[in-house]
């Protein structure tokens, strides 16, 4: 008897990807930490951080990262605040922090930036927020740092929620600042 491959729904495939990615990143509750290096100057590319011994990441931060990864491939919608309708960058961040950490972060990317605690870019930890100047306007874009110089964000109407590298030339040139709500 020949068995036919089981069809996988896009949602369950995303869930499997998210769980696998989160487990790979989490590695027994430990994620790579970054050592101190000079903060980037506005418009300057981020230098490759040197790695230190792994540091413990809070359970809330792990939840934020796993929840953000679970939204990869969710559609974009300007002003979107939930995955069913689509998400924009600040809507995605607000949704993740509400569901995964119980924190309300309403408003635009700039509003979210104003209320967070600054973090040196060389000391980014999973769950921190990264802000970009993408429209010649300070803090016009936000994403969630997931470790290994990568972040999850809702890019624009031409894309879906996805993970990107902070070293990507386009994002590196527009990186403004990192902030946290989890420390």
Residues annotated as catalytic are 89, 141, 153
CA distance 35 to 30: 15
Q: Which residues lie below 8 Å from residue 94, measured CB to CB, with a gap of 6+? A: 81, 104, 105, 106, 107, 112
Contact predicate 151/145, CB 8 Å: yes
DSSP for 157-174 reads TT-BSEEEETTSHHHHHH
Indicate the DSSP class of residue 137.
S
Which of 95, 99, 125, 93 is CA-nearest to residue 112?
93
3-state SS assignment for residue 119: strand
């Amino acid at each position: 008897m020949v068995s036919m491959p089981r069809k996988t729904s896009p949602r369950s495939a995303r869930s499997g990807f998210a769980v696998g990615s989160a487990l790979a990143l989490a590695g027994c509750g430990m994620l790579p930490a970054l050592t101190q290096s000079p903060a980037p100057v506005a418009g300057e590319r981020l230098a490759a951080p040197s790695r230190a011994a792994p540091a413990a990441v809070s359970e809330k931060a792990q939840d934020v990262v796993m929840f953000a990864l679970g939204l990869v491939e969710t559609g974009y919608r300007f002003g979107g605040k939930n995955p069913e309708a689509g998400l924009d960058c600040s809507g995605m961040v607000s949704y993740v922090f509400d569901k995964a950490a119980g924190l309300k972060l309403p408003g635009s990317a700039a509003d979210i930036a104003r209320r967070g605690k600054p973090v040196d870019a060389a000391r980014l930890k999973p769950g921190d927020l990264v802000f970009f100047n993408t429209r010649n306007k300070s803090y016009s874009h936000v994403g969630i740092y997931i470790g290994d110089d990568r972040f999850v964000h809702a890019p624009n109407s031409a894309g879906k929620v996805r993970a990107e590298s902070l070293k990507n030339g386009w994002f590196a040139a527009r990186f403004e600042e990192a902030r946290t709500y989890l420390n």
